[in-house]
Structure 1
């Protein structure tokens, strides 16, 4: 299935690159008007706002601008984030706080900004991007895995809270993905790691975007679900 074109408006955080850019492009292909929220411009979107997703007031103001320009938000996709590897003993308080602020705070701030309108209209979809590491963990990934694990907790709890009022909340938890977020010398790109994957390769941002768009556009039967495009790393 390719999805039914929609006249609705979608907001994608992290839309300037990687999975966020791919998700924005796929939603546009399916007929959505797409607004991109990012620290950098997202030129492929119909509207873009440079926003720190960890700032609740800034996100609320940006979503208000989106609704003024493009109409009510029917879909919100929380992708914005970053990745770093550090031994747990080396992670500073600032690094712990920033990781949680961007990943979990970004999802919560976006959700709060769009939910009032969605609940009033009795329809809407929120999709969060978590990670395979939220389930399996990883060496030197404690603060990243903790943040992504918290995203799954928010998704499952929020879905239970709002599903009865017409709003679906789901998540995609990809494995290492072939985007600029992974450095050329990342251990996730090493041939020894790739040989452990049943598919023998990383998934692409476009493949993750298909999962996001499916949950946003087609999967009206999915509530609190987590899709795992990870090339078979976690089965």
Structure 2
């Protein structure tokens, strides 16, 4: 009987990442989680800062030793804060790019060689509807997420002939710990502007990720918007 395929989920200890770990395990995957916390409910969890390329490479190698070759990668590690452009420090700007764009790049670079050798694999990056529409006081976050779209689409073209697929999900405001209780994205006046009148649930985003990993064998370079109608 063949061994179960292996997936890595960054940010797998909470929010969209945790929901994705659960969804993929439900589809028969053994899942390794990379997160600042090693308490993810995964088959193997490694505490790592995804902005540290060398650390990510080591963590991916550890998961491969424990679980086996990586068949799928989902990058959902995140960081969020709001600030007017004039109040964004250089440190804050760099951190946003390191976590989001750097995290996607580092994990992809670590997982791709094995996928390319096996001529099989699926990568899904979690971006944001702000990457498409922008947002007031969200310039550094939107820029980092927008850069993920460019990298993912370029990577999809680069590896299209190798059997590796690269896609993106772009959630709207999602009911995770990243959104503080007093976040304007939770305000009733904002929710009233959405066709579905509510935040997206992490499990709903995870189902879209699961689909792209497991079922959408025809899809690469695509962006799936999961945002309660915020971007139509």
Using the size of structure 2 for normalisation, the TM-score is 0.98
- Give the corresponding residue for 2:158: 161
1:35 to 32, 36, 55: 32
The yes-or-no answer on 1:217 pairing with 2:219 is no
Match of 1:232 in 2: 229
Aligned to 1:3: none
Can you give the 5+ residue segments of structure 1 that lack an aligned partner in the other structure? 1-5
* Residue 9, structure 1, aligned to residue 32, structure 2: no
Which ranges in structure 2 are unaligned for 5 or more consecutive residues?
none
**Which of the numbers 178, 182, 196 marks the counterpart of 2:179?**
182
Partner of 1:138: 135
Deviations 1:113-150 (A, max 9, x none): 00000000000000000000000000000000000000
Residue of structure 2 equivalent to 1:77: 74
Distance in structure 2 (CA, Å) of the matches to 1:128 and 1:43: 19
Can you list the C-alpha shifts for 1:37-79, whole angstroms capped at 9, x where unaligned?
Answer: 0000233100000000000100000000111110000000000
Q: Secondary structure at the match of 1:77?
A: strand
Instruction: Give the counterpart of 1:18 among 15, 19, 34.
Output: 15
Q: What is residue 65 of structure 1 aligned with on the other side? A: 62
CA shift digits 1:151-184 (9 cap, x unpaired): 0000100000001111000000000001111111
Q: Secondary structure at the match of 1:203?
A: coil
Question: Which 4+ stretches in 1 moved above 2 angstroms?
Answer: none
Q: Is the 8 Å Cα contact of residues 195 and 228 (structure 2) preserved in structure 1?
A: yes
Task: Verify: 1:127 aligned to 2:124, yes or no.
Answer: yes
User: How many residue pairs end up in the alignment?
Assistant: 231
Q: For residues 221 and 43 of structure 1, what CA distance do their matches in structure 2 show?
A: 31
Q: Could you tell me which residue of structure 2 aligns to residue 89 of structure 1?
A: 86
- Report the Cα distance in structure 2 between the residues aligned to 1:72 and 1:119, rounded to whole angstroms: 12
Question: Matches of 2:225 and 2:115 in 1, distance apart?
Answer: 26
CA contact (8 A) 2:169 2:208 kept: yes
Q: CA deviation at 1:14?
A: 0.2
In 2, the alpha carbon distance for the partners of 1:18 and 1:234 equals 21
